[in-house]
Structure 1
Amino acid sequence: MTKILQTAIPFNALEEKRLPGIAPLDMADWIIVDEAYAGQMARREALLATQRDDVLALDPLSMAAAQELLNLVLDQVLSRENNGFRREGDVVTCPDGRQVPILKDDPLGTLGRIAQEDFCLLDKRGDEHVLMGAVLCFPASWKLSEKYLQPLVGIHIPVADYTQDIAKRVQRLFDGVRVGRPLWRYNALWYQDPELHQPRSAEEPRRIGAGSQSGPYLRSEKQSVLRLPETGYVVFSIHTFVVAREDVLRDKTL
């Protein structure tokens, strides 16, 4: 079976931090290619081919921002040596050997086939940033269809810890993130199965118990926030790690 799990997470995902737990991010550490790249990309390919409307949405007025994001990601992966990415004309060869055409009229679809990360595009509309587009193959208990074109507060319903105070702090973060000064945070939840695509309606009960420590898989998202220099949109990107409990226990006592 194609490998979809990582055996380690490159940070201590179980270290508790006050929300929103933000730290500076080096752009060199933004786009990650890890041991599960081939397996996770195969899952992304399948989702984009069979459930595209569930995992991708883009407001037509945000096309320029999506194209800018695609160009930024391509610059990042193609500027690094020995990472397996190559470009010939309008085709990118990926580390797993797939050849992905660069489709300027489908920038988020192209991104979804190149990077392990999911990408959300947000723009300030009124007092809040609104989700204007995303390629979200690996949601962790939320559905893109319910959050698309919603402001930050709406996106975080029904997250219990997302209090009014936290909402104000997150909005200030999105307002204040500067070009060339990205930020990142992480989360961690135990899941009963390793499936990467875990959509859940806000109306459905959570599949795992709140604060449960009994799940056999630890799922942790590295969440990055950066501002695009030309359009000014904010990018929220998510790299998903899923590690079996026995691999977590090699380094942690839970």
Structure 2
Amino acid sequence: MILQKSIPYNPLEEVPLPGIKPMNLADWLRPDEAFAAQVAYRAELLSNSRDKVLMMHPDAQIAAQELLELVLDHRYDGARDHVILPDGTRVTLDWQQPLATLGQICQEDFCILERAEGSPEHVLTGAVLCFPASWTLAEKFMRPLVGVHDTVDSYDSKMASRVQRLFDGVQVGRPLWRFNALWYQSPELHAPRAEHDPRDQSHGEDAPYLRSEQQVILRLPKCRSVVFSIHTYMVHRDDVMAEWGQDVAAS
């Protein structure tokens, strides 16, 4: 069981969809107390279930390498050969496998979305997705934004247009972010669900764990592809209510 004790924003706040806010780039990729445990689990998944958690079209290689470079500059002082994780683990950087490398040095999952000339939407061309929440990478890979969200009830044509405008408009160095939050019976981080599998009806406000994703949209400066990063928090109900329950009661 891998849990955090706190979340750096109020996950119980009700925010109208899509709930997008500007983010200071310096606040991207902030590790928390679950870093070591989450990264170790990610390495295990990449070793044992690589075909389920990592997919990339060959044309996304340039974007993936640029993303790795950006992460290293931002998080690891511009390292290019290897990094030392906070627990002392040494990870050699494999520039031919940039997404797999990212999966071993960050808590975040990363999705690369690219819009080809003449295409109406961005397409998911690559991802390292170790901690899916009720979706599977294989079913979303190489699909446009509408296809990625086709099982989301609130993702209607109006919402699709708004999200596409966000992906078109996000500027280099000025990322955008949002969060989601849902109560879960299980604290399992790797929780895929196929599109045609029944929904888990056990979610509810009486469940013991709150799962919240901090989702960030940013543009790569060179190739101009869009990156969607996901930092997953799993927090016990007692800790959530101790930190944010008074805010909810007062609202």
TM-score (norm 1): 0.93
Deviates further, 68-77 or 244-253:
244-253
Post-superposition offset of 1:209: 4.8
Instruction: Classify the secondary structure of the residue corresponding to 2:12.
Output: coil
Task: Determine whether 1:229 maps to 2:221.
Answer: yes
Aligned to 2:63: 65
Task: Choose which of 76, 93, 97 in structure 2 pairs with 1:102.
Answer: 93
Output the CA distance in 2 between the equivalents of 1:96 and 1:149: 36
Output the CA distance in 2 between the equivalents of 1:97 and 1:234: 31
TM-score (norm 2): 0.94
Output the CA distance in 1 between the equivalents of 2:220 and 2:241: 39
Aligned to 1:204: 197
Residue type matched to 2:44 in 1?
A
Residue type matched to 2:97 in 1?
D
Output the CA distance in 2 between the equivalents of 1:25 and 1:209: 33
Residue type matched to 2:155 in 1?
Y
Contact 1:128 1:171 in 2 (8 A): yes
- Size of the aligned set, in residue pairs, is 244
Contact 1:130 1:152 in 2 (8 A): yes
Structure 1 segments, 4+ long, off by >4 Å, are none
Aligned to 1:131: 124
RMSD: 1.4
Aligned positions of 1:27-42 closer than 5 A? 27-42=25-40
Aligned to 2:187: 194
Contact 1:66 1:121 in 2 (8 A): yes
Post-superposition offset of 1:78: 2.1
Output the CA distance in 1 between the equivalents of 2:182 and 2:150: 18
Contact 1:118 1:135 in 2 (8 A): yes
Contact 1:37 1:96 in 2 (8 A): no
Contact 1:190 1:208 in 2 (8 A): no
Aligned positions of 1:123-202 closer than 5 A? 123-125=114-116, 126-202=119-195
Identity %: 56
Post-superposition offset of 1:220: 0.2
Task: Choose which of 206, 218, 221 in structure 2 pairs with 1:214.
Answer: 206
Output the CA distance in 2 between the equivalents of 1:214 and 1:108: 37
Output the CA distance in 2 between the equivalents of 1:245 and 1:218: 6
Post-superposition offset of 1:98: 1.3
Output the CA distance in 2 between the equivalents of 1:101 and 1:207: 39
Post-superposition offset of 1:206: 1.8
Contact 1:157 1:202 in 2 (8 A): no
Unpaired runs of 5+ in structure 1?
A: 80-85
Contact 2:185 2:202 in 1 (8 A): no
Residue type matched to 2:101 in 1?
T
Unpaired runs of 5+ in structure 2?
A: none
Aligned to 1:44: 42
